[in-house]
Amino acid sequence: MPKRTDLKRILVIGSGPIVIGQACEFDYSGTQACKALKAEGLEVVLVNSNPATIMTDPEIADRTYVEPLTSEILESIIAREKPDAILPTVGGQTALNLAVQLGELGILKKYRVELIGASLDAIKIAEDRLLFRDAMTEIGIATPNSRYVKSMTEAFDAIEPIGFPIIIRPSFTLGGVGGGIAYNIEEFREIAQRGLSLSPVHEVLLEESVIGWKEFELEVMRDRADNFVVICSIENVDPMGVHTGDSITVAPALTLTDREYQRMRDIARRIIRRVGVETGGSNIQFAINPDDGRIVVIEMNPRVSRSSALASKATGFPIAKIAAKLALGYTLDEIPNDITRLTPASFEPTIDYIVVKVPRWAFEKFPRADRTLTTQMKSVGEVMAIGRTFKEAFMKAFRSLELGRGNMLFAKSGGRINATANVEAEDDDSALQRSLAVPNDQRIWSLFRAFERGWALEEIHRLTKIDRWFLTQFQQLVELRTQAMLVGLRGISPDLMRSLKRAGFGDWQIGSMLGADEEAVRAARVEQGLKPAYKRIDTCAAEFESFTPYLYGTYEKECEADPTPRQKVVILGSGPNRIGQGIEFDYCCVHAAFALREDGFETVMINCNPETVSTDYDTVDRLYFEPLSFEDVAAIIAREQEGGGDVSIVVQYGGQTPLNLALPLQRAGIRILGTSPDSIDLAEDRERFSKLLWDLGIPQAPSGTATSPEEAREVALKIGFPLVVRPSYVLGGRAMAIVYDMAALDRYMMTAVQASPERPVLIDKFLEDAVELDVDAVADATGAVVIGGIMEHIEEAGIHSGDSSCVVPPYRVAARHVEQIRDYTRRIARALNVIGLMNTQFAIKEDTIYVLEVNPRASRTVPYLSKATGVPLAKVAARVMVGRTLAQLGLTEDLQVSGVFVKTPVFPFVRFPGVDTILGPEMKSTGEVMGGAQTFGSAFAKAQLAAGVKLPSHGAVFISVSNHDKPAVVQIARDLKGLGFELVATRGTANFLRAHGIDAEIVFKVNEGRPHVGDEILNHRIQLVINTPLGRESFFDDKFVRRTAMMQQVPCITTLTGAAAAVYAIRALNTEGLTVRSLQEYHADLALSHKP
């Protein structure tokens, strides 16, 4: 069936900011879809609030709206653009929910817009669990016994027919937020209550638990001729009960007979037909009873998903791209398979390797969070690894996680706990038992510990319910380790070394098991002639020739890398997403690839994150899906060098991951492009850097370094409190803290970090109440420096820059300060011989500009700034790194913006009950949004809205601030009053306001009596909370207020600068309203103003 000719203009909805459960896999899918639509000659209009995406690059769509993803904003865009159709299936749950809203509000009908990819009915059947269950019953497919309830009374009535344990799933929440598993009435009461309040429709599904059953997923596609294919089967190593996003998963399914597998396939086909997904991809989840093969369907997602991104990377079949084409009316047999070229997309990929995905959590950022894994996803990223066997893929995946010593699955010796490993001490067997029986982020380590202690496989199976086949694999890994430890590195036979390497053990890991260093293991291995071969991912298990160098390493006979003699640039990616190192770095890597490919280099990507655009085989000339460890990277470069061409490497784009490899790679003789690793190190080395600034005459806050508590005390005595303390060489403010006294400093030095002479703790004077700024610049080899933008933080210094809202251009910084910052930036860039990107953070306090830190590498703000200015900074810098000058690239002046652009972070607090929402020097946000407008107020309001914060236009504001903040809150309170708000305050704050002539109603603190402020929030009497931390004594009161506000979706602002900005925003909302504008229009303004 040929393409539909009635569709000309398509609106694609993106997935918004990166949050837990919805990450950059939707940038990967969305970008593919937009490109596919454009290639088919359609006009693509895109809306996505997330600027850190490739899909919002202005050339991906014809018009790009970086605007909040709400039905009101979408209506404005639809009214303006009049699209023929909306593609809602590549933007995650966010886009599907929006599509449903647009349908229910009659907006689709009003503007005569069609949904393609999935109809409203199909979405509803798949999303509404009741409708889904009925549909399944109708076609004779079993689902777990379940019941919907809308109140606690109904909930209690449902307990008996279902029986404990009961799974509680709130309706219409993302990634299962608010859900859980109740084993008893107490847990049931708590989780059901929470679920009811979190569900936007106040409804939860209570479901029979199939915990412990085997869990499978099928990624399927269907076209409008009813052709149906399974792209990939995925088996969860963690059985039912753990969200698939938190499970270790493997592709293909490994423990099903053909009969069981085909039965599942038959069911999947019937489901997609019944649900009515006419074109596109779906994900269907199944549970299978391991004792009798009984199969039930858990859920179906009528859209591309995290799993479909994984399936695409695992098989080489680009699901989102094909789905977009199917939505246009093509059938599968009309679309060629990119990889084999000669065969069509109407087939089922078959793979001759094993793929393992392992999640990465960020619990270290949320020490109070519950680490139990349930039906609500908690991980922030994942890695995928490919090997010829499960063991190899599994071990490579763990190497890819970059957990430092935590990569090590094994105890150091004889089953003893390795204190430095990322494992909580489990000295006694009962703790180990508990850790095996109750899924948690550390369970896999516990599992290895149990095998090391000689626990029987059956016992571990009984506790974990993990299939015996997987347990056998783990047991074999432990046995291999034991064999190696018995003989030591010297006694290791070529056969054993080969077995270890073929089972995926890294050189470093073998060394650490045997008490040798990585280099010695490598030498022994090379002597035995063992080096990796690279195999191609070709969708067809070598049945046909493949034309796409999409490769993975393994220890096999034949290597298919086939390197070319071209001049090539290897770009090191950023590994798994984590808080502090996320999509922004992948965005930069992708831009480096695009720019250098355009300029005729052969681009080679190394990365292990399946969610990203960088691991799309379309992005680069050659893709190696490999761990970013020295061993793996060096081996790939050596192989590429065998092709004969010059090989150089980009390390400054992938965040800390490649930077950690820069020096070792340079030592190994590999040419690093751009800023030298020594300069990067200089900027990181506190003493060398202080000297440089001193020589330049640029102020820096007093600082020092310490490798012991004693040294730290000395530094503190010299520079005085408050202090910012943090370890060196980390991103995202990991373990960063502000300390106000000696006791806190001691506590920090003793417990929070492990300092060493190579990695000292950095201690800086904390500049309280300073204004903080981020500057991104590009410098070339001639010493030319172009400043991409000066971004002013809304929140004051002390809050991690990644967690601060910021705005370009600055809105309250004096012009002379701006000029001085430009001057400092240029001089620092030149002094560091920066070639490429450089990010600098400044603080202004009492008319002095201090440099906080300099990072001569890609930064988190590069994508946002690129969107605001219309200049792709990462591309420019990549070209500069290979020798072009800024002048050659036409960049002779600092960049400008037309309008005002605000970046606002989004946080995962809602997923971690009990965790405070307060901001500090340790980064906690997972993603960001951008709001653009002509005024600061409007731009800030949009950014807030995009981040899910609905600022009120009227109502009551609760104010409770620390004594320190009281003077400054007066103006804010006055402004709010002027905007017509009622003020409610705690006694202290209210008295202070009254003393300044502002009337405020007094409300009880939580511990003062009832009704207290929490009650007032719950009773919807308060529409906005302004609450700055009050210090340790009232800590719990504060936290309760903030969490209550968050759960009730009442905006809660925790800084005064944030509150002041909110005043601007509310004023703008009340006077200007919100209008929409595409990036292309903003950028066109600039082009006009640049003309002489």
Partner 1 sequence: MKAILALENGIWYEGEAAGAPGQTGGEVVFNTSMTGYQEILTDPSYAGQIVTMTAPEVGNYGVANADPESRGTQVAGFIVREESAIASNWRSQGTLRDYLVANNIVAISGIDTRALTRVLRSAGVMRGVIATGDADPSALIDRAQALPSMEGSDLVLGVTCERAFDWEPATSPQDEFAPTAVRRKRRNLRIAAYDYGMKWNILRRFNAYGCDVRVFPATAPASELLTAGPDGVFLSNGPGDPAVLSYAISSATHLIDADVPVFGICLGHQILSLAMGGDTYKLKFGHRGANHPVKELETGKVEITSQNHGFAVDPDSLPKDVKITHLNLYDGTVEGLRHTKQPVFCVQYHPEAAPGPHDADYLFNQFVEEMERRA
Residues engaged in binding partner 1 (CB under 8 A): 1, 225-230, 233, 252, 254-263, 265-266, 290-293, 331-333, 343-344, 346-354, 388-390, 467-469, 472, 476, 535, 540-545, 556-558, 560
Element of type H or E holding 595: helix 583-598
Element of type H or E holding 387: strand 381-387
Pick 501 or 800: Cβ nearer partner 1: 501
> What is the distance between the alpha carbons of residues 818 and 176, in angstroms, rounded to a whole number?
46
Report, in Å, the least distance between residue 452 CB and partner 1.
19
Residue 809, both tokens: 């251009």
Which amino acid would we find at residue 348?
E
Pick 221 or 665: Cβ nearer partner 1: 221
Pick 388 or 396: Cβ nearer partner 1: 388
> What is the distance between the alpha carbons of residues 260 and 267, in angstroms, rounded to a whole number?
11
Please tell me the total number of residues recorded for the chain in this structure.
1092
Report, in Å, the least distance between residue 136 CB and partner 1.
16
Count of beta carbons in the 10 Å neighbourhood of residue 937: 24
The number of CA neighbours under 13 Å toward the Cβ of 1028 is 19
Task: Characterize 349-378 residue by residue with b for buried, 16 or more Cβ atoms within 10 angstroms of its Cβ, and e for exposed.
Answer: bebebbbbbbbbbbbebbeebbbebbbbbb
Report, in Å, the least distance between residue 798 CB and partner 1.
53
Task: Characterize 601-634 residue by residue with b for buried, 16 or more Cβ atoms within 10 angstroms of its Cβ, and e for exposed.
Answer: bbbbbbbbbbbbbbbbbebbbbbbbbbbbbbbbb
Pick 289 or 690: Cβ nearer partner 1: 289
Residues in contact with 964: Cβ distance below 8 Å, sequence separation at least 6, in sequence order: none
Strands 703-706, 723-727: pairing kind: unpaired
Report, in Å, the least distance between residue 316 CB and partner 1.
13
Pick 1 or 431: Cβ nearer partner 1: 1
Pick 31 or 473: Cβ nearer partner 1: 473
Report, in Å, the least distance between residue 23 CB and partner 1.
28
Report, in Å, the least distance between residue 473 CB and partner 1.
9
Pick 467 or 507: Cβ nearer partner 1: 467
Pick 350 or 953: Cβ nearer partner 1: 350
Contact status, residue 816 vs residue 805, Cβ threshold 8 Å: no
Pick 494 or 1011: Cβ nearer partner 1: 494
Report, in Å, the least distance between residue 547 CB and partner 1.
15
Residue 705, both tokens: 């370094």
Pick 286 or 766: Cβ nearer partner 1: 286
Report, in Å, the least distance between residue 468 CB and partner 1.
5
- Which residue's entry shows tokens 């298919």? 560
Contact status, residue 468 vs residue 291, Cβ threshold 8 Å: no
Pick 388 or 924: Cβ nearer partner 1: 388
Report, in Å, the least distance between residue 353 CB and partner 1.
6
The answer for 356, left when phi > 0, alpha when psi is -120 to 50, beta otherwise, is: beta
The number of CA neighbours under 13 Å toward the Cβ of 575 is 28
Report, in Å, the least distance between residue 139 CB and partner 1.
12
> What is the distance between the alpha carbons of residues 1046 and 910, in angstroms, rounded to a whole number?
7
Residues in contact with 416: Cβ distance below 8 Å, sequence separation at least 6, in sequence order: none
Report, in Å, the least distance between residue 958 CB and partner 1.
58
The number of CA neighbours under 13 Å toward the Cβ of 577 is 29
Q: In the sheet where 114-115 sits, what is the strand order?
A: 63-65, 43-47, 9-13, 85-87, 114-115
Report, in Å, the least distance between residue 455 CB and partner 1.
17
Pick 380 or 386: Cβ nearer partner 1: 386
Report, in Å, the least distance between residue 165 CB and partner 1.
22
Report, in Å, the least distance between residue 389 CB and partner 1.
5
Report, in Å, the least distance between residue 273 CB and partner 1.
13
Contact status, residue 234 vs residue 487, Cβ threshold 8 Å: no
Beta bridge partners of 540: 350
CA 28 vs. chain centroid, Å, equals 13
Pick 136 or 877: Cβ nearer partner 1: 136
Pick 265 or 1005: Cβ nearer partner 1: 265
DSSP string, 788-849: EEEEEESSPTTS-GGGS-EEES-SSS-HHHHHHHHHHHHHHHHHTT--EEEEEEEEEETTEE
Distance set, CA 98 to CA 65, 71, 102 (Å):
15, 6, 6
> What is the distance between the alpha carbons of residues 664 and 756, in angstroms, rounded to a whole number?
19
Report, in Å, the least distance between residue 620 CB and partner 1.
23
Pick 183 or 469: Cβ nearer partner 1: 469
Pick 226 or 642: Cβ nearer partner 1: 226
Pick 211 or 983: Cβ nearer partner 1: 211
> What is the distance between the alpha carbons of residues 863 and 650, in angstroms, rounded to a whole number?
18
CA end-to-end span of the chain: 52
> What is the distance between the alpha carbons of residues 979 and 958, in angstroms, rounded to a whole number?
15
Report, in Å, the least distance between residue 111 CB and partner 1.
34
Count of beta carbons in the 10 Å neighbourhood of residue 1032: 8
Report, in Å, the least distance between residue 454 CB and partner 1.
18
Is the four-CA dihedral 1086, 1087, 1090, 1091 of positive or negative sign? Answer: negative
Residue 80, both tokens: 């303006």
Pick 389 or 885: Cβ nearer partner 1: 389
Beta bridge partners of 360: 381
